[in-house]
Amino acid sequence: MKAYVFPGQGAQFIGMGKDLYEQSELAKSLFEQANEILGFNITDIMFNGTDEQLKETKVTQPAIFLHSVILAKVLGDDFKPKMVAGHSLGELSALVMNGVLNFEDGLKLVSKRALAMQKACEKEPSTMAAILGLDDEIVEETCKAIDGVVVAANYNCPGQLVISGSINAIDSACDLLIEKGARRAIKLPVGGAFHSPLMEPAREELAAAIESTNFNEPTCPIYQNVTASSVMSANEIKENLIAQLTAPVKWTQTMKQMITDGCEEVVEVGPGKVLQGLFKKIDRKFPTSSAVFEI
């Protein structure tokens, strides 16, 4: 059984999607449509901008979504998922490609999500840090013992858990986790504490947009970040997508559940190979590949 997975923030690079734009008329029309929907030429930044321009949350998230979704669409009949999943932002890409959202609504929600998250980040200085080489339970218990806001945010793979919270709390947690045996505690170059309670203002803003958007029943199961389990109900998908901004991304649990449910091969759709690498941490022999458009 083949699954398609969609990456999240951090996978971007200058030039992303340019080959699609130049080689496919369908891709070109979708990119031009995106420029109109967003109200600025995101293609100019994606193809020829600077790293700093592309790193802005309001640009990064739509850019990754566009690269992923447009690549999947130009695959045409070759795109035949039996199950889908997306890491954080990538969940919205997955929801377009299993028929829950149309392209325009998906892009509008991504844009609103990005702007809401950016505003929430500006309200309180906050950040994230990757903790390597410790059991999840030790990281979770340590976070609970720290004064201030700090929580487990991204269960990326066994031995890699990202924590999220206020800057002082993150600093304290990193020091304590190193004392407890973490191989490394790396502060990440992000704008704020994603997937933590500090994203509550963004969650409320996005909830209103999601509630007013039409969600169709999916054509195949999506494994959502909040539950790490198969979902086939449009209403349940909405609830989980709203909860996602303040809840942890259970990617390790998602990968294990997909394999348990019969996933035999994973195709990553979008920039980079991060998700393929995470699946290899579950089973280094597990078949993974990148989606490729060929004329």
Rounded distance between C-alpha atoms, residue 272 and residue 287, angstroms: 16
Q: How confident is the model at residue 209 (pLDDT cuts 50, 70, 90)?
A: very high
Rounded distance between C-alpha atoms, residue 71 and residue 268, angstroms: 11
Q: Who has greater pLDDT, 183 or 124?
A: 183
Query: Given this model, what pLDDT does residue 1 score?
Result: 93
Query: Given this model, what pLDDT does residue 294 score?
Result: 75
Average pLDDT of the residues in 172-191: 94
Average pLDDT of the residues in 57-62: 92
Residues 6+ apart with CB under 8 A from 187: 127, 128, 129, 170, 174
What pTM was computed for the model?
A: 0.95
Q: How confident is the model at residue 295 (pLDDT cuts 50, 70, 90)?
A: low
Residues that are catalytic = 88, 195
Kindly report the average pLDDT of the chain as a whole number.
Answer: 96
Strand 2-6, strand 265-268: pairing? parallel
Percent of the chain with pLDDT over 90: 93
Average pLDDT of the residues in 135-159: 96
3-state secondary structure of 244: coil
Strand 288-290, strand 265-268: pairing? parallel
Q: Is the pLDDT of residue 189 over 90?
A: no
Determine the number of helices (DSSP H) and then strands (DSSP E) in the chain.
13, 10
Q: Count the neighbouring beta carbons within 10 Å of the beta carbon of residue 65.
A: 28
Domains of the chain: 2-122+197-290 (3.40.366.10), 123-187 (3.30.70.250)
Average pLDDT of the residues in 253-275: 96
Rounded distance between C-alpha atoms, residue 130 and residue 143, angstroms: 13
**pLDDT tens-digit readout, 81-132:** 999 999 999 999 999 999 999 999 999 999 999 999 999 999 888 999 999 9
Q: Is the pLDDT of residue 274 over 70?
A: yes
Average pLDDT of the residues in 198-221: 96
Query: Given this model, what pLDDT does residue 149 score?
Result: 96
Q: Are 3 and 82 in contact (CB under 8 A)?
A: yes
Percent of the chain with pLDDT over 70: 100
Containing 288, the helix (H) or strand (E) segment is: strand 288-290
